[in-house]
Structure 1
Amino acid sequence: MSRHGLSAPFRQHGITARQLRTDHILDEAHHTADPGQLIRVFGLGVTKAVSYIRPAHPGRFATDPTSA
């Protein structure tokens, strides 16, 4: 199947495959506070997994002193 053939159903609904994947990862991040789960399921790196977990579970992480 061509790239165009794969993306056509997404375009019909006004989304991209990347947006759908991101939404799926964010949904999973809301269900688990374990970055290891995101790493195993989606093949993410540690930094990227934590970047999804942090906004989903803000109380789990201390305030980042570099962003204050």
Structure 2
Amino acid sequence: MSYCALRAAFDQTGTLPKQLWADRDLDEARHTVDPVHLVRVFGIHPHTAVRYVQAAHPDKALAKIR
């Protein structure tokens, strides 16, 4: 797919690729409480993975990463 076609698709929906990526991460965090899983699947920083899990499961407290 060309850049122009991809850009046109995002312009029509009014979303940015970054927003779509963050939504996918958060959706995966809703299915698991394991930040290590998010790190392995998406290659994100452990602190970011913990933030996603905390946002998806505010009732469950995770230990802080040092």
Tell whether the structures are fold-level matches, with TM greater than 0.5.
Answer: yes
In structure 2, the partner of 1:51 is 51
Determine which structure has the larger helix proportion and give its number: 1
5+ residue gaps, structure 1: none
5+ residue gaps, structure 2: none
Asked if 1:39 is matched to 2:39, the reply is yes
Runs of 4+ in 1 over 3 A off after TM superposition: none
Q: How many residues align?
A: 62
TM-score using structure 1 length: 0.78
Shift of 1:23: 0.6
TM-score using structure 2 length: 0.80
User: How high is the sequence identity, in percent, across the aligned residues?
Assistant: 44
